[in-house]
């Protein structure tokens, strides 16, 4: 959880900025990687705009060799958070009508950016992860990881070429 008390910032004039250092573990589903960086909190007319660049890494399984590896990701966060309580009157306020999934600041004026980080991190996961661009993958015959070992399986050959090879050997 990355919880920031923003009651002071909500009382501040529009345009007020506060920087917040992030250096914490954030749960993003299957794991809890360390997230580092800095976010800027800007008081807007509707709430607080959080922007910043965060670095983390996500554990992935290579789609070719099935090896596990860490994938570094940079998260460019830009999200507006909306208050649920009017900071001056203490009365309840609704989130924006046009953004039903908007991030909310809770009734204790705590802004929690963990959920935003989780969503950004999941979006940063590649569809077909590769441990390295030239990953050699698994041998289709014996299943050995060809990044680590060479096997003696003959390379898969087109059957038409197989005939030609017979000719060469018989010669
Ligand atoms: Zn691989
Ligand atoms: Zn093999």
Cα distances from 53 to residues 36, 73, 76, 121, in angstroms, run 9, 10, 5, 12
- The predicted-structure confidence for 50-103, as pLDDT tens digits, reads as follows 999 999 999 999 999 999 999 999 999 999 999 999 988 989 988 888 888 899
Nearest ligand (C-alpha, residue 71): 1
Residue 171: predicted pLDDT: 47
* Residues with Cβ within 8 Å of residue 158, at least 6 apart in sequence: none
Nearest ligand (C-alpha, residue 140): 2
Cut 0.85: pTM above it: no
The alpha carbon of 131 and the centre of ligand 1 are apart by a number of angstroms equal to 4
Residue 168: predicted pLDDT: 59
Give the Cα separation of 88 and 30 in Å (integer): 40
Mean pLDDT of 103-117: 95
- The predicted-structure confidence for 115-166, as pLDDT tens digits, reads as follows 999 999 999 988 999 999 999 999 999 999 999 999 999 876 666 666 666 6
Residue 170 has pLDDT above 60, yes or no: no
Judged on CB neighbours under 10 Å (0-12, 13-18, 19+), 65 is buried
Nearest ligand (C-alpha, residue 134): 1
Nearest ligand (C-alpha, residue 151): 2
**Which stretches of the chain are assigned E, i.e. beta strand?**
3-5, 17-25, 34-43, 48-61, 68-83, 103-105, 110-112
Query: How many residues are present in the chain?
Result: 171
The alpha carbon of 64 and the centre of ligand 1 are apart by a number of angstroms equal to 5
């Amino acid at each position: 959880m990355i919880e920031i008390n923003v009651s002071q910032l909500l009382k501040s004039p529009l345009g007020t900025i506060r920087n917040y250092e992030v250096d914490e573990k954030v749960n993003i589903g299957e794991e809890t990687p360390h997230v580092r960086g800095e976010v800027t909190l800007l008081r807007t007319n509707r709430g607080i705009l959080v922007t910043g660049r965060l670095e983390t890494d996500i554990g992935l399984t290579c789609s070719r060799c099935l090896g596990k590896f860490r994938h570094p990701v940079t998260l460019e966060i830009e999200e507006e958070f909306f208050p649920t309580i009017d900071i001056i009157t203490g009365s309840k306020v609704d989130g924006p009508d046009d953004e039903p999934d908007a991030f909310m600041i809770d009734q204790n004026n705590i802004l929690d950016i963990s959920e935003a980080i989780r969503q950004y991190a999941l979006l940063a996961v590649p569809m077909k992860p590769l441990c390295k661009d030239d990953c050699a993958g698994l041998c289709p015959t014996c299943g050995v990881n060809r990044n680590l070992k060479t096997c003696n399986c003959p390379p898969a050959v087109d059957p038409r070429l197989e005939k030609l090879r017979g000719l060469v050997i018989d010669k």
